[in-house]
A and B are shown apart, each in its own frame.
Chain A
Amino acid sequence: MESPLHHFEVHNVITIPPIAGLDISINNAVVAMWVGLAIVAGSFLLAVSRGISPIPGKLQSILEISLEFIRSMVYEFIGEEEGKRYVPFIASLFLFILACNLIGLIPGSYTITSQLAVTAAFAVGIFFMTLVIGFGKHGMHFLGILVPPGVPKIMIPLMVPIEIISMLARPISLAVRLFANMTAGHTVLAVLFGLAMTGPLWLGWLPFGFTIVINGLEIAIAFIQAYIFTTLTCVYIGDVIKLH
C-alpha cells in the first residue's frame, strides 16, 4: 500500500540537465505553482479584457469583492495612508496562496503550500521586506523597535535579546503554520482514504464518508490559512511602519 505521505513527494515531469550545478528540472511542484499563478492572473486578465462594466458580471463581482476585502484588511492593520502601497502585494500574496491551497484539494493534484521550502521562501522574503521598509522609513531609529515603550532602563539589557528572538520567531512561525496546517490536513485525508480502500466494502464506506466531510473542512482551512498568512504579513508591516 502507498504511504500516506506519498503525495507530498516531488518528482520530475520534464528533466532538464543541470546548468552550472543548478537543477532546473520542471517537477510537479513547479507545475502546481504555475497552475495557481495562471488561475489568479487568468481570471483577472479575463475580467479586464471583457471590459469593466459599472454593473459587474459574475466574475467581476467575485474579483471586486475579494479585492475590497483585502483592501479593507490592509487599511485596518497598516493604515489608509501607508497601506495603499502594499495593497497590490498583499492581494497577490493572498490570492496566490488561496489558489494553491484550493488546487491541492483536487484529488491527484499537488499542494504546493505543503512544502516548507515554499512557505519559508514567502516568510523570509516578507521578513527582509519588513526590515527594508523599517530601515528605509525610520533610519537608525528603527532599532528602537527592540525596546518596547514604558520599559524601565534596568530591564533594557534583558528586553533587547527577548525582542530579537521574538522578531526572528515571526517568519518561522509564519512559514511553519501554513506548512503544518496543509500537511496535516492532507495526511489525514490520505490516511482515511487508505482505510477506505483497504477495508471491505461494508466497513469502507465509513472512512470514505469522512474523507468527503474533511475535504469540506479543508476548503475552510484553505481560506483561513491564506487569511491568517496575509493578516500577519499586514500586522508585521504595520508594526515596522508605526514603530509601536
Chain B
Amino acid sequence: MQIAFRLGTELTVATFIGAILGYGVDRFFGVRPWGLALGVILGGAAGSLNVYRAAMSLTIEDENTEDDNNF
C-alpha cells in the first residue's frame, strides 16, 4: 500500500510540475496556451518515467532478495 502511494505521488507531482513550468513559459513568452499544453504532456511523460524507474528498482530489489534466499 505504501509503495503504491509512492508511485501515485510520483506521477501526480511530475504532472503538476510540468503544468506549472508550462504556465510559467506562457507568462514569460506570451505563447498561451501552447506552453501549458506541452508542459502537461512533458510532465506526464516525466511522471511515467519516474514511476517506471521506481517500479524497476523495486523489482530488482525483489530479485536480489530472492537470490539471497536461494544461497
Contact = CB atoms under 8 A, between A and B. Distances in A.
Chain A at the B interface: mostly helix, strand, loop or mixed? helix
A243 interface: no
A221 B16 CA distance: 26
B46 A165 contact: yes
B17 A181 contact: no
Contacts of A162: 42, 45-46, 49
A166 B2 contact: no
> Interface residues of A toward B: which range?
20 to 34
A170 B2 CA distance: 17
Interface in A67-84: none
Contacts, number: 52
A163 B5 contact: no
Interface string A218-230: 0001001100100
Contacts of A235: 57
23 contacts: A162-B42, A162-B49, A165-B14, A165-B17, A165-B18, A168-B17, A168-B21, A169-B10, A169-B17, A169-B43, A169-B46, A169-B47, A169-B50, A172-B13, A172-B16, A172-B17, A173-B13, A173-B14, A173-B50, A177-B6, A180-B9, A221-B2, A235-B57
Interface of A: 158, 161-163, 165-166, 168-170, 172-173, 176-177, 180-181, 221, 224-225, 228, 235
